[in-house]
Amino acid sequence: MTWLDLPADTGFGPDNLPYGVFSTPGTSPRTGVAIGDRVLDLAAATHDPVHATGSLNAFMARGPAAWAAVRSRLQELIGDAAHRGDVEPHLLPQDAVTMHLPVEVADYVDFYSSRHHAENLGRILRPDGEPLPPNWTHLPIGYHGRAGTVRVSGTPVVRPSGQRKAPRDDVPTFGPTQRLDIEAEVGFVVGMPSTLGEPVPLRAFPDHVFGACLVNDWSARDLQSWEYVPLGPFLGKSFLTSVSPWVVPLAALEAARVNPPPRDHPLVPYLDDETHPWGLDITLEVRLNGERISRPPFGSMYWTPAQQLAHLTANGAALRTGDLFASGTVSGPERHQRGSLIELSWNGRKPLPLADGSTRTFLEDGDVVTISASAPGPVGTRIGFGEVIGQVLRAR
Amino acid sequence: MTWLDLPADTGFGPDNLPYGVFSTPGTSPRTGVAIGDRVLDLAAATHDPVHATGSLNAFMARGPAAWAAVRSRLQELIGDAAHRGDVEPHLLPQDAVTMHLPVEVADYVDFYSSRHHAENLGRILRPDGEPLPPNWTHLPIGYHGRAGTVRVSGTPVVRPSGQRKAPRDDVPTFGPTQRLDIEAEVGFVVGMPSTLGEPVPLRAFPDHVFGACLVNDWSARDLQSWEYVPLGPFLGKSFLTSVSPWVVPLAALEAARVNPPPRDHPLVPYLDDETHPWGLDITLEVRLNGERISRPPFGSMYWTPAQQLAHLTANGAALRTGDLFASGTVSGPERHQRGSLIELSWNGRKPLPLADGSTRTFLEDGDVVTISASAPGPVGTRIGFGEVIGQVLRAR
């Protein structure tokens, strides 16, 4: 319910109200809320300096009661036409603002929680072995990525260089990656910190997590495959990770909660989520130069974000405001549900046919990749995530 | 040369001047410089607010010319007795101050650059294979660690819990680690950031790196061995990483520069350091409950910190002020030069005999581990690194 005139089927209706950081020419970055095709200048509308800090961190650090109070007040402001005169001066067209990285990222962790993705990668890279490593069904595998190279949607993707060595080569060579890929993921942003030494149980997930965004974890597969044994991905990932500018509040995803897929065997207690299922029915869409190439279903993820958070802290590791953890590539069981080109082109062996008659294995210079997503909201509404977009530029 | 009365053989003489962050009861953390057994309150002595921010980051961000100017001024102040009256009121006994984490850590990267360590681990964990993975002699293998759990020396080491599965077990169990270990390392702190997309060449190492400290990368070997395939170490490391409170300026290590060991084969150009060797003759010392158990030689590292930095940025990854990158466990060729208990006890199979008649495989509750180090300074002086210390507390 709102007095605003919203575009038909907007994903940014009154049940969503995602937060971002924006600026207009000559002004400082500040917090905004997306409503339809507009952004509400929260700093100006509320006079609360927490919204003028240039990132969501200070607001997130206030905790879940403050998040709920602001959300409730926002729904009142846009719901009751009596507030129209106060609110309207602070609404700007989204296409007139510049979006910034919404969060000062503290630590960035990337998981590997889609069974279909992990099995596909296993079949591609280790065709003679079991598709899943033995630990995969027992814990959500993850690793730390580079927080300092997380950037907002729109940041150009300069093709990275690095060492790569094909099995037939005697020695590695250095040069631009020839296997630049995407990973379509959903990321979760920590608002409330935790104490060193104290694990965060599954039930405390909404006490710590502020919201969700989209993540494209750009990957240079040739760099990655040469470097990753035994300590994991490093330069194959650290050149850039792109996130969507809007952070969807966890409260907006209540109607999207679903049970995760059945598990192969009983889980150790800290991961047993029977009473706290946090599967989320979010459908992603991946477009390459405007053409849809995949629709990965987040609801098919084996491990939920609540399990990821419980695992991440099971050893007592502390959370900080601004921590970002991403799901890993979201891939469903069908070919058109795969969230990476290494899967869509089966490591280049089955090039992906495109509408213009060309094909694609990995990304070419000039390619534009757009990831968007939506989830069911209350009573037939739709919760949109906006987009995370990036264009590949040739290597320097 | 100084008018101060310094303890004999101090590692904190006028050629060192390491920076740290300290407080006294009822005062805010601020920057200090260690001189002998005292600390100079730099904020009070200089009236520069950059030294009152509670971390070295703002000062480091001023860049190498500013670092050199402050160092030169400090040497003048403590070198010329004419300044005694101005300086003396700002000297405090080190044992009367509390030391804090010196740096707000941005990204933390841990390398694996000791050939002896990597070969020992290979022989222990993969006895039937080659001790080194094929990429090891071509690039400095590294991975991102958890910046948010880097803490200052003295922070208690609460024994972490997690999943572990021995080969003979059918399923994993959750509980306190039974294989808690140390890793004696040297860390390097980035002062000056770099631009996304622009690699930092070997020659630019001193333009970006502010100084060095000691690192104890506490490791839960049983958690690590169950989790680390295929994405690398995660919870086995992320519960705590301890650093020494004093950051030794790179300028204090000029006399310690040595050539790294000969390499097995020619390196790709961005790692070829023939004209920029940054081996450093730093000798570490590891004590367990006061007894020296190892003296790892940093000069034996195959990959230098300059090569690590060049590698870390070769794909265009940006540096930020406060980035910390550590060497990986420092181990020399001899048994008494190994920097971890997994090596010293050969994975528990050859328990380490201690002076009191007991033996040790991995750490027991109550154990205190102290890592210290020193390097040659100009004309017979000694550059000390102070200590990084931690006591193991029983699991919660």
| Closest by Cα among A55, A91, A74 to A16 | A74
Q: Which of A57, A179, A238 is the best mutation test for B, with the most CBs of B within 10 A?
A: A238
Contact A148 B318 (CB under 8 A): yes
Sign of the torsion angle spanned by Cα atoms B380, B381, B385, B390 = positive
Predicted confidence at residue B333, as pLDDT, reads 97
Predicted confidence at residue B267, as pLDDT, reads 96
| Beta strand B184-190 pairing with B209-216 | antiparallel
Contact A316 B239 (CB under 8 A): yes
Name every chain B residue with its beta carbon within 8 A of the beta carbon of A314: 161-163, 174, 235
Could you tell me the pLDDT band of residue A167, with boundaries at 50, 70 and 90? confident
A219 has a pLDDT exceeding 90:
yes
Tens-digit pLDDT profile for residues A245-261: 999 999 999 999 999 99
Report yes or no: B200 at the A interface, CB cutoff 8 Å: no
Could you tell me the pLDDT band of residue B197, with boundaries at 50, 70 and 90? very high
Report yes or no: A275 at the B interface, CB cutoff 8 Å: no
B1 has a pLDDT exceeding 90:
no
Pairwise CA distance, residues A136 & A129, whole Å: 14
Given the residues A51, A117, A208, A311, the one annotated as active site: A117
Tens-digit pLDDT profile for residues B241-282: 999 999 999 999 999 999 999 999 999 999 999 999 999 999
The whole-angstrom distance between B162's CA and the closest CA on chain A is 6
Contact A133 B316 (CB under 8 A): no
Task: Name which of A164-168, A289-293, B141-145 the model is least confident about.
Answer: A164-168
Contact A239 B315 (CB under 8 A): yes
pTM flag (> 0.95): yes
Fill in the DSSP letter of residue B155: -
Could you tell me the pLDDT band of residue B166, with boundaries at 50, 70 and 90? confident
Name every chain B residue with its beta carbon within 8 A of the beta carbon of A174: 268-270, 314
Specify the amino acid at residue B172: P
Predicted confidence at residue B4, as pLDDT, reads 94
Looking at the partner chain, which of A165, A238, A265 has a beta carbon nearest the beta carbon of B317? A238
Structure tokens at B94: 């080190």
Name every chain B residue with its beta carbon within 8 A of the beta carbon of A133: 229-230
Could you tell me the pLDDT band of residue A178, with boundaries at 50, 70 and 90? very high
Pairwise CA distance, residues A250 & A188, whole Å: 9
Task: Reduce the DSSP state of residue A56 to 3 states and report it.
Answer: coil
| Closest by Cα among A130, A18, A156 to A74 | A18
Pairwise CA distance, residues A34 & A41, whole Å: 9
A158 has a pLDDT exceeding 90:
yes
A126 has a pLDDT exceeding 90:
no
Fill in the DSSP letter of residue B60: H
Mean pLDDT taken over chain B: 97
Chain A's closest residue to B199, CA to CA, is A161
Phi, psi torsion values for A122, nearest 5 degrees? -60, -45
Decide if A117 is catalytic: yes
Looking at the partner chain, which of A135, A162, A320 has a beta carbon nearest the beta carbon of B314? A162
For tokens 């470097």, the residue is A227
Enumerate the β-bridge partners of residue B188.
Answer: B212, B325
In degrees, rounded to 5, the angle at the alpha carbon of residue B120 between the alpha carbons of residues A174 and B296 is 95
Report yes or no: A229 at the B interface, CB cutoff 8 Å: yes
Tens-digit pLDDT profile for residues B271-325: 999 999 999 999 999 999 999 999 999 999 999 999 999 999 999 999 999 999 9
Mean pLDDT taken over chain A: 97
Tens-digit pLDDT profile for residues B75-86: 999 999 999 999
Tens-digit pLDDT profile for residues B205-251: 999 999 999 999 999 999 999 999 999 999 999 999 999 999 999 99
Contact B106 A323 (CB under 8 A): no
Predicted confidence at residue A166, as pLDDT, reads 86
Pairwise CA distance, residues A242 & A150, whole Å: 6
Name every chain B residue with its beta carbon within 8 A of the beta carbon of A235: 311-312, 314-315, 317
Report yes or no: B230 at the A interface, CB cutoff 8 Å: yes
Contact A234 B142 (CB under 8 A): yes
Contact B396 A318 (CB under 8 A): no
**B168: Cβ contacts below 8 Å, ≥ 6 apart:** none
Contact criterion met (CB below 8 Å) for B332 and B338 = yes
Report yes or no: B137 at the A interface, CB cutoff 8 Å: no
Tens-digit pLDDT profile for residues A75-100: 999 999 999 999 999 999 999 999 99
Report yes or no: B290 at the A interface, CB cutoff 8 Å: no
Report yes or no: B151 at the A interface, CB cutoff 8 Å: yes
Phi, psi torsion values for B84, nearest 5 degrees? -55, -45
Q: In the predicted model, what is the mean pLDDT of residues A314-327?
A: 98
Predicted confidence at residue B125, as pLDDT, reads 87
| Closest by Cα among A211, A148, A224 to B147 | A148
Name every chain A residue with its beta carbon within 8 A of the beta carbon of B135: 163, 165, 172, 226-227, 229
Report yes or no: B335 at the A interface, CB cutoff 8 Å: no
Give, in order, the Cα–Cα distances in Å from A310 to each of A98, A191, A205.
35, 15, 8
Report yes or no: A63 at the B interface, CB cutoff 8 Å: no
Helices (H) and strands (E) in chain B, counts: 9, 26
Label residues A244-264 b or e (16+ Cβ within 10 Å = b).
bbbbbbbbbbeebebebeeee
Report yes or no: A124 at the B interface, CB cutoff 8 Å: no
For chain B, list the domains and their CATH numbers. Answer: 19-98 (2.30.30.230), 108-393 (3.90.850.10)
Pairwise CA distance, residues A11 & A327, whole Å: 22
Report yes or no: B126 at the A interface, CB cutoff 8 Å: no
Looking at the partner chain, which of A112, A143, A197 has a beta carbon nearest the beta carbon of B143? A143
Predicted confidence at residue B126, as pLDDT, reads 87
Pairwise CA distance, residues A371 & A330, whole Å: 12
ipTM comes to: 0.97
The residues of B assigned a catalytic role are: 117
